Each structure stands twice: as C-alpha cells, then as structure tokens.
Amino acid sequence: MRYPEFLKDKGTIAFVAPSFGCATEPYKTAFDMALERFKSMGYSLDIGPNAYKGEGIGISSTPINCAKELNEMYISDSNDCLISCGGGELMCEILDYVDFEAIKNAKAKFYLGYSDNTNFTFLENILCDTASIYGVCAGAFANPNWHQSLTDTWECLTGKGFKRDVDGTLFKKVSGYDKFELESLKTSDNPAPDYNLTHTKELSLYIGDKDIKAEDKNSKLVFEGRLIGGCLDCLSNLCGTRFDKVSDFISKYKDEGIVWFLESCDLNVFDIRRVLWKLKEAGWFKYTKGFIIGRPMHYDEPIMNLNRFNAVTGILGELNVPIVMDADFGHLSPSMPIISGSYAKVIAENNNIDIFYYLR
C-alpha cells in the first residue's frame, strides 16, 4: 500500500469536483468560507475548473471534463493533496476517462471525500494500491467551530497526532463521538452551522447475527485487518464492472485479512440487504475479519419486519465475524475520518469505537 506524504504547513490544497460542484447555495458560500479558512491558516489553494460548476447531470460537468480535472490535478506538481468539493449522484460515469494507470504511477497524494467519492477513494485503493481518506468534503470546514471530527480529519491529512509503533510504523488513533445529528441546520441563510447534535450515539455489537451487547453491556469487540469500503450505493454499482478488481486486492492481503467499513445514503433497509447479498455472492467478503457499519442516512426506518440491524446481520451473520453497527461515519454527522487502505485495529467497548490506523 502506498501512503501519500502528509500536507505540510503552507502547502497547497487542490479542490476538485468529480461529483457535484459548489454551484448553488448554501454550498457555494460554505465552500468560499472554507477557502478563506484555509488561506487564513497559511495554505495555498489550487481550485479546479469545475469547482463552481453545475452544468453536468449528477456531477459538476461532463464526465470527460470531470475526469480530466481529476487526472490533471492529481498528477500535477502544483498541489500536495486533493479535497473533493462535494458528493453527488453519477461520479461513476467519469470512470471511463479516469487514467488510473497514470495515477498509480504518479506521486501519491491524499484524496479526501465521501459518499459519491467512493468511486475514487475505493478504486484508488483497489486499482492503485494507494491509501485515501474517506471523510467530509471541502464545505464542512467552513464552520468556525470545528467539531472534533473535523479536527480528526484535518490531522489525518496533515499528519498531526501520529505516533510510531515499536517497529517504527506510523499510526494514529481516532475515536467515536458521543452525539450525532439526524437533521442538519444548514440553510442558504446559515451555510456553516454547528452540528445539530440531538441524538446520543448507541453502538450495537454483533458476532455473526448474535447481538452480544444485548446480552452483556460490558461486551467488547477487537479485530484488525486491511481496511477498505465506502458508500454501499456506489460499491454495489461498481460490483461486476471492469473496475471490480476486489478479488485481486483481497487475495493480495488475505494473510492480513480484510476489515470493511460500509455506510449508505439513499438505500432503504431492503436495498441494504440486497446490496450486501450481492457483494457477498460476488466474493467480496472472502478473508473478512470484521465489519464497521456506519449510521445509514435512513437511520430508523424499518419496513415490515426488516430494520437496519437485521438488514445487515441477516446477510453478514453467516460469516460469523465481528460487526460494529451505528458507528460514527457516513451521512449523519459527525463522521470519523477513515484512512482507507490502511491496516486498522478496531476496538469497540463501553459504547465507543477506537480505530487505530497503521500506515503499513
């Protein structure tokens, strides 16, 4: 696994829009506020040509233009890392034009984004053997009162708070958060609000389909392996395409085992169950050591006798591995940054999750 250099003080941040651009409110103002924040911190900015565009279908521009921006900005010597302007709907359509071979052979850079950006954060791992950061997009940094999750994300990007293991491996620990929001307060008049932390986080812990926390409040899960994943909406779409080299990747890292982090946006509970069945049948979960499941966007919306828990355990339970559910990442803020492609150790106990990211 290739690990990019951390963003240095007074370095240059590139902003790309391979998915939605910041063309409408409140996203345009939030993006501008974030840019001012970065400039005040001493960073230079390299703003891609599609950052403010909204002329595409489900993305900022045409698929060719979006891929061209991503290719050129990644390979360019004029910036040090890339942050996505936002998520969207049809980033998959740019993949025909993304030059993964050139990206694989270029100097590695951290790419930060989530949701539709799974189309790159995941494939950068799978096709380029290069780590990425699954986390908030650029506009999130507009808020003047950074939540700990934003500080954690920034530290992953800049290398702050990393330590060295006894063998010299760099690692960083990121922990979960106490509360989360179901509904954002973001509006055109309030483009960068504090998180609306109205709900208390409650992890559920399973081994297979057995709810071990329900049986023992002092239960604990510990597992580790090579960490990959993203938004299920996108992963399902990639499965079975010519970009699906998951079998090769997990075979390469089979001695370490795989830890999957998964979350969802538009999927209801039946969709989630169908997607997990599809990925399991495609062989993606071979060599899996455990799963971290983020809070779904459709958080507490059971349909008939299916809820967000048995939507997952009904399919993944037969693998008989640890599953942490309602973890602190995904579309319901705050979200832990995830160094996708890293070797991770996961500890879940006392209603908290700690993830140790080892850059090896």
Residues 125 and 246 in one domain: no
Whether residues 221 and 101 share a domain: the answer is no
Long-range interactions of 168-172: CB distance < 8 A, separation 24+: 169/358, 169/359, 169/360, 170/358, 170/359, 171/356, 171/357, 171/358, 171/359, 172/339, 172/356, 172/357
Residue 85 in 3-state DSSP?
coil
- Does residue 181 share a domain with residue 138? no
Handedness of CA 199, 203, 209, 213 (dihedral sign): negative
pLDDT surpassing 90 at residue 40: yes
Q: Domain for residue 220, yes or no?
A: yes
Summarize pLDDT for 210-243 with one digit per residue, the tens.
999 988 888 999 999 999 999 999 999 999 999 9
* Judgement on whether residues 58 and 193 belong to the same structural domain of the protein: no
The full 3-state SS of 284-313, as one line of letters, equals CCCCEEEEEEEECCCCCCCECCECCCHHHH
Q: For residues 212 and 103, state if they share a domain.
A: no
Task: Report pLDDT for 217.
Answer: 86
> Domain check: are 138 and 190 in the same one?
no
Tokens 């910041």 locate to 22
Q: What average pLDDT does the chain have?
A: 97
Look at residue 316 in the predicted model and tell me its pLDDT.
98
- Give the domain-ending residue among 122, 142, 162: 142
For residue 209, tell me if it sits in a domain.
Answer: yes
Give yes or no for residue 101 having a pLDDT over 90.
Answer: yes
Is the predicted pLDDT of residue 62 greater than 90, yes or no?
yes
Buried b (16+ CB within 10 A) or exposed e, 82-101: bbbbbbbbbbbbbbeebbbe
Average pLDDT (5-25) is 97
Q: Is residue 154 part of a domain?
A: no
Task: Flag whether 150 is in a domain.
Answer: no
**Listed residues 142, 157, 188: the one ending a domain:** 142
Shared domain for 138 and 178, answered yes or no, is no
Residues 110 and 221 grouped into a single domain = no
* Calpha distance 295→258 (Å, rounded): 20
Return the CATH number at 132: 3.40.50.10740
Do residue 216 and residue 339 come from a single domain?
yes
User: Would you say residue 230 lies in a domain?
Assistant: yes
* Domain with 87 in it: 12-142
CA separation for the pair 278, 344 (Å, rounded)? 25
Mean pLDDT of 70-85: 98
Give me the pLDDT at residue 195, please: 97
- Give pLDDT, residue 215: 86
224 and 84 both lie in a single domain? no
pLDDT band at 317; cut points 50, 70, 90 = very high
SS3 (DSSP) at 127:
helix
* pLDDT tens digits along 104-138: 999 999 999 999 999 999 999 999 999 999 999 99
**Is 334 part of a structural domain of the chain?**
yes
Residue 195: which CATH number? 3.50.30.60
Domain stop point among 142, 157, 184? 142
What distance in Å separates the CA atoms of residue 330 and residue 263, rounded to the nearest whole number? 6
Q: Clarify whether residues 189 and 102 are in a common domain.
A: no
Query: What's the structural domain count of the chain?
Result: 2
Average pLDDT over residues 273-300: 98
- 125 with 196, same domain: the answer is no
Q: Is residue 96 part of a domain?
A: yes
Residue 6 forms part of a structural domain: no
